[in-house]
Amino acid sequence: MRKEIDFLVIGSGIAGLTYALKVANYGKVAVVSKAFADETSTKYAQGGIATVMYSPDSYKKHIEDTLVAGAGLCDREVVEMVVSEGRDRIEELIAWGTDFDRENDGNYALGREGGHSENRILHHKDTTGKEIIRALLKRAKNHSNIELFEGYFAIDLITQHHLGKKVTRHDKDITCFGAYILNPQLNKIDTILSKITMLATGGSGNVYRTTTNPVVATGDGIAMAYRAKAVVENMEFIQFHPTSLYNPGEKPSFLITEALRGFGGILRNHKGEKFMHKYDDRLELAPRDIVTRAIDTEMKKQGRSHVFLDCTHLNPNELISEFPGIYAKCLSIGIDIRNDMIPVVPAAHYTCGGINVNKYGQTTVSNLYASGECSSTGLHGANRLASNSLLEAIVYSHRAAQKSIQLFRNIEFKREVPDWDDTGLILNEELILITQTQRELQNIMSSYVSIVRSDLRLQRALDRLQLIYKETEDLYKKSILNRELCVLRNLINVSYLIVKMAINRKESVGLHYSIDYPKIK
Ligand code: FAD
Ligand code: SIN
């Protein structure tokens, strides 16, 4: 099938939907998602969305907290822009039907998370993301200019490369004409020509064995953009959340929100001892990279696979009313958080780097935009401050929408783009070739490119990745495409970018911590 559409949006999380809702008042929009439209990282967000609401909080404090967490690598202008524009964007989310919790006096209830010097996290109990995606999807489904394509898998962006021109990373005039998308109804590859393409494909937690990210988070947008020769950066900064529920075998790992530590939860080791005072004066509410490394160190010292989050001293009624999702989840595996400590372990959680964009979400490829977790805006630097990502997505999708509306009428569809050609290729029926390689990849990344790194471990990872890259590219060239193979290829591309950028960074900073380099911040 061939289709022409003004705006092609790949991804139906907060970044994709807020962009779609804005541009849809000006042209036709297709939103594609590789699973059901609500199956996104957005849906799993617990803690909430950071913004300055009331005094004594101020933009200045939020900006400062973001810069401190980012360990010197944030772009100050971007931080100032996101923090100061965020409030208006949140008002829009509310106007579009999102419900955030309020206190008895009518003011919004504000939670606290690591690295924040004030309470500033708007939330809906401990299921904020589910509430946001509910409201956005309802609105998108009712918009006559938005068509949702669920289960459609974007394979590659279309550029001059598909017109037979050799495109290199140094070319200045690369343009995106749309994308090739696997149509699940026909099991064929559709050609979608678009004036503007927005990548809102989320993160890449599934390059690791253990992650809080849903299975859709395989870095597809980052890999597609990289193959289209867009600039990708800062991929070494993978954030591990300090506290996911230790429940071996469960995928994705269930998150125990940082807001629970903000509410008074205390970390303890297997001897029942508090330990955060040994690592940082901010204790349980130090930035995530610090808490994660502290837990990692305690686990290694005691030869254990987890530590505990103790909430047993907190008011039990308030605990259940503020964190009903966590209470129910833990109870389902026999842990009553009012009386039992919660076993927790760090898990891969957030991709701080990604596709380089300017302040309007424009990538280095013309007519290609990116927003949300797949993008790299300069906001997070070497470590994202908790609950700043939903905020970043709404600010950037708004700015990208403004720019797109201004430009799209002067863009022509590139009708000479050929359809996907798979003549001569064979159907690969041995899925084991893919699933086993994916497990190998996740083991390599988890063993060698995790919370603590070294030059030797990174080099080992690179050597092993090169082997599976070659095997998988050979298979890709011979096979009729299927989703599993495309996902594996993307995971390998993204892992390569993480490892390569980690090797190139000759310092320990933020989330990139190497035993070979003295820590500077
Ligand atoms: P997502 O919401 O992940 O959406 C990605 C979309 O892209 C999906 O629709 C997917 O189907 C689609 N897609 C991907 N690849 C393809 C492809 N090849 N073809 C077609 N479609 C594709 N951040 C906060 O600020 N506050 C929080 O409290 C918070 N809590 C979190 C809790 C958890 C458990 C997790 C995992 C993350 C949390 N985060 C939080 C981070 C935040 O949720 C995400 O960064 C954010 O939701 C990402 O939004 P997004 O729109 O960029 O991507
Ligand atoms: C959490 O609720 O702890 C996650 C918040 C985030 O990732 O920003």
Residue 423 pLDDT exceeds 90: no
- For domain 432-480+482-504, say whether CATH 3.30.530.20 is its number: no
Active site residues per annotation: 288
Distance 45 CA to ligand 2 centre (A): 7
- What confidence score (pLDDT) does residue 18 get? 98
Distance 372 CA to ligand 1 centre (A): 8
Residues with CB under 6 A from ligand 2: 46-47, 257-259, 350, 386-387, 389
Residue 520 pLDDT exceeds 70: no
**DSSP-derived secondary structure for 107-148:** SBPEE--TT-SS--EE-STT-HHHHHHHHHHHHHHT-TTEEE
Distance 373 CA to ligand 1 centre (A): 7
Q: Which residues contact 399 (CB under 8 A, 6 or more apart)?
A: 359, 360, 361
Nearest to 486 by CA among 162, 138, 184: 184
Task: Give 267's strand partners.
Answer: 309
Q: What is the mean pLDDT of residues 346-361?
A: 98
Nearest-atom index, ligand 1, CA of 387: 25
Percent of the chain with pLDDT over 90: 95
Question: Where does the chain hold its CATH 1.20.58.100 domain(s)?
Answer: 432-480+482-504
Residue 269 pLDDT exceeds 70: yes
d(CA 449, CA 460): 10
Sign of the torsion formed by the C-alpha atoms of 366, 201, 429 and 495: positive
Confidence of residue 193 (pLDDT cuts 50, 70, 90): very high
- Give the model confidence (pLDDT) of 132-171 as tens digits: 999 999 999 999 999 999 999 999 999 999 999 999 999 9
d(CA 396, CA 77): 14
What is the number of the ligand closest to the CA of 375?
Answer: 1
Structure-derived torsion over alpha carbons of residues 71, 72, 75, 81, reported in degrees to the nearest 10:
60
- What confidence score (pLDDT) does residue 521 get? 47
Q: Is 33 in the pocket of ligand 1 (CB under 6 A)?
A: yes
Q: What is the mean pLDDT of residues 455-465?
A: 98
Residue recorded with tokens 């989320």: 202
What is the number of the ligand closest to the CA of 182?
Answer: 1
Nearest-atom index, ligand 2, CA of 46: 2
Question: Where does the chain hold its CATH 3.50.50.60 domain(s)?
Answer: 2-46+125-237+352-410
- What CATH number does the domain located at 242-349 have? 3.90.700.10
Confidence of residue 13 (pLDDT cuts 50, 70, 90): very high
- Give the model confidence (pLDDT) of 279-293 as tens digits: 999 999 999 999 999
d(CA 329, CA 312): 16
Question: Where does the chain hold its CATH 3.90.700.10 domain(s)?
Answer: 242-349
Domain 2-46+125-237+352-410 fold is FAD/NAD(P)-binding domain (3.50.50)
Q: Is 354 in the pocket of ligand 1 (CB under 6 A)?
A: no
Residue 82 pLDDT exceeds 80: yes
Q: Are 255 and 128 in contact (CB under 8 A)?
A: no
Confidence of residue 428 (pLDDT cuts 50, 70, 90): confident
Q: Which range, of 235-249, 387-401, 419-433, 467-481, averages the lowest pLDDT?
A: 419-433
Helix, strand, coil percentages in the chain from 3-state DSSP, rounded to 5: 40, 20, 40
Q: What average pLDDT is seen over the chain?
A: 96
Higher local confidence (pLDDT), 230 or 478: 230
Is the pTM higher than 0.75? The answer reads: yes
What is the number of the ligand closest to the CA of 20?
Answer: 1
Distance 467 CA to ligand 2 centre (A): 35
Q: What is the mean pLDDT of residues 484-488?
A: 96
Residue 422 pLDDT exceeds 90: no
